[in-house]
Structure 1
């Protein structure tokens, strides 16, 4: 067999799949997998009161279970998982990760101790860190480069649909039965989804949408990291979207305190899941708008949607946080959250234009590491310290959150303006 002709034939077949109905079907399947990952990730926060009561856990232990046991290992593993996805089969990493986190969530329903739950969450964090870097790389080959803003935003919408399902569905099951049944119910579907994904998803040649040009694949792990971070646009990108993640994780972590401590409306907290579902729509709209602006003007204009996310929600946050009515606060803060979290798909899409095809997964892992450490690791603790030590009184939490959101929105927008200026010189040839 002529190997050269065989490879050429395989690439020709692969190009026919780009942006095809099959590619859109795979996008839908990957989005369902992403929804599953966020349901399994967020469900512990929803079930925390029941788990705490049955296992006699302190607030610190609950925080350890929900945050540290997952977020630290997820952030750290994202970078090497990205490297593996650039070298090995992305399909295997996606399906393997889905199997592990679904199984670990399911068996968590049989936990009899905090140690059991922490170990399970540890493996959930490792396995989920394999997903998005591999998906970012795969979707860049499944779709034409001009569609990435839209495509990545559809995928990113799974974040908020998953959180919404965890709040609404997981909470409902827990109320009807108990926390153990809720964990089993949300974990089991992932096993079926893994079987479907294995049969449906195909591995495509890397860089197929770039016309099949060859790229250097012998760079070391350290050389790839250095190459990615050497670009000013990437550094501004990471910093700017970290500020937006800071806002997103913080409001999600403290919306319960705002509604309960300021307004005495704890019954409204589970219903906040509906705003998470709506945010999925805003993420998709933001991606479509980013692609439209890229076609209408130039590709650097995709960063404008980051500026919109950083600034447009601030007036709503202000009037919502300082509202006298619980209903007004609930509605305005929720709408502000819908706007300020709309950047998620655009952020991942822009990064794909700034690195070579055989670096996309590692760049995605590095991005997830940065926003997880800054957003999840720094945001809520800093906001909590401001509430405890700086701002007091009935509206102390509101003052602390408004300061955080304002600073993050302004600083993020400045980073994006800088990134737009350097984009043309850092962009890879498409």
Structure 2
């Protein structure tokens, strides 16, 4: 690369190291900073579902409208914008892209607090989706350039604690603020925190060298550019990458549908109050979802070095074990029993995230990581985030005519076949991983 090219791309003061370098204090600081941004990402994303009941009552919305605004409308902008953002981030300063994105989605979250009609709220939520499109893919690549191979599963497992922490804090603070003041104040306060965080990340996180911790044979030079269309063709032509995207999409269909309607189920059909949600449901998310994501990251680091199929088998086994407890959670007559039964599936349903992200980051060259991460998110979020909540809200509206007292419960039960679909896809992924290893001569 010609001298000065780094500066022209906005990559100032890059940091990195030789392959095999142990993560230092700066790497852990960056991981903590990016994890906090991810916490805000998910906190702002899930705030609508957490506060769905008071929002639904004030704006006179149906379950189907809640499903659309938290699912399909949000996902279309989030997923489609993520591809050009990832292309740009692969060619520029990823930290600055992340900082700007955080500021944008946080400002849009503040706008949600001022929405007086359904269209205004929908536009604000779409803008949140546009901002959040620039959050996760650059972070995956930054972390992969701060942590060497063999430690990335753990690092990404820690980073992926963002969703449970964001959900838990969103429930705790969002529900508490809403209970004490109003749902609008929750959006205003938490959006303002995000704007300040974006500025701090811009000023304190340094851009790492692309591929600085990978062996030279892993790809091209650290700053070389991966062609956009070539990267897309590579991703969808690779059976392993294609199947991991489809399998995680099927898994996320379950998790996003559940996450976006669990508080409504607990409050409307199981008698939980907003104050009880703020305490007990936030603890459930923090302990179970967080434990599942972190444990799966540790397991994949330990097991994948011996058998790479662990990237697929860990989430498959988790989903199989989760099914009876999920059914028990849905059928429980009261919120206390439901919360107790939800502990297991809440953890096992999220065994897919850390293995999937680590597998994709390991399978591609360093200069393809942001785009590969964005393509993974494109597929799994269009399926999971876009269709999961939309489907569950529509199913509840359909059941409501004949079963007005438990329409959400019946809608939740229709998610069980999707567990089987996700497990099948993960087993197909395991076969594809084994076949790829045989072709590469690793078996």
SS of corresponding position for 2:160 = helix
1:215 paired with 2:217, answer no
Partner of 2:415: 401
**What is the aligned counterpart of 1:281 among 288, 291, 301?**
291
**What is the aligned counterpart of 1:151 among 140, 143, 155?**
155
Is this contact kept in 2: 1:275–1:335, CA < 8 A?
no
Partner of 1:232: 239
**What is the aligned counterpart of 1:357 among 324, 348, 366?**
366
Q: Deviations over 1:200-243 (max 9, x none)?
A: 21112211112456628455322210011111111221122112
**What is the aligned counterpart of 2:427 among 410, 414, 417?**
414
Is this contact kept in 2: 1:237–1:419, CA < 8 A?
no
Q: Deviations over 1:41-68 (max 9, x none)?
A: 1112223333344445555554444334
Structure 1 residue runs without a partner (length 5+): none
Partner of 2:186: 182
Partner of 1:120: 124
Is this contact kept in 1: 2:37–2:197, CA < 8 A?
yes
SS of corresponding position for 1:138 = helix
Deviation of residue 113 (structure 1)?
4.0
Is this contact kept in 2: 1:40–1:186, CA < 8 A?
yes
Q: Deviations over 1:365-407 (max 9, x none)?
A: 11111111111223344455666469x87674464233333x2
1:319 paired with 2:322, answer no
Is this contact kept in 1: 2:211–2:367, CA < 8 A?
yes
What is the TM-score normalised by the length of structure 1? 0.87
Q: 2: CA distance between counterparts of 1:152 and 1:369?
A: 19
Q: Deviations over 1:112-132 (max 9, x none)?
A: 444443332222111110111
Is this contact kept in 2: 1:272–1:334, CA < 8 A?
no
Q: 2: CA distance between counterparts of 1:56 and 1:13?
A: 52
SS of corresponding position for 2:49 = helix
SS of corresponding position for 1:276 = helix
Distance 1:240 1:110, change over 3 A: closer
**What is the aligned counterpart of 1:163 among 161, 164, 167?**
167
Deviation of residue 31 (structure 1)?
0.3
Q: 2: CA distance between counterparts of 1:68 and 1:413?
A: 24
Distance 1:59 1:314, change over 3 A: closer
Distance 1:380 1:189, change over 3 A: closer
Q: Deviations over 1:148-200 (max 9, x none)?
A: 11111111111111011111210110111112221111011112212221222
SS of corresponding position for 2:363 = coil
Deviation of residue 247 (structure 1)?
1.7
Distance 1:166 1:20, change over 3 A: same
**1 or 2, which has the higher helix percentage?**
1
Q: Deviations over 1:15-53 (max 9, x none)?
A: 077611110111011000000111111112223333344
1:369 paired with 2:413, answer no
Partner of 1:346: 355
Partner of 1:14: 16
Is this contact kept in 2: 1:321–1:402, CA < 8 A?
no
Distance 1:119 1:325, change over 3 A: closer
CA RMSD of aligned residues (A): 3.3
Q: 1: CA distance between counterparts of 2:49 and 2:38?
A: 18
Q: Deviations over 1:317-337 (max 9, x none)?
A: 233334455432321123212
Equivalence map 1:32-111=2 (5 Å): 32-57=36-61, 60-111=64-115
Is this contact kept in 1: 2:327–2:413, CA < 8 A?
no
SS of corresponding position for 2:114 = coil
Q: 2: CA distance between counterparts of 1:184 and 1:11?
A: 35
**What is the aligned counterpart of 2:34 among 30, 37, 50?**
30
**What is the aligned counterpart of 2:319 among 300, 310, 314?**
310
Q: 2: CA distance between counterparts of 1:323 and 1:57?
A: 26
Q: 1: CA distance between counterparts of 2:70 and 2:190?
A: 16
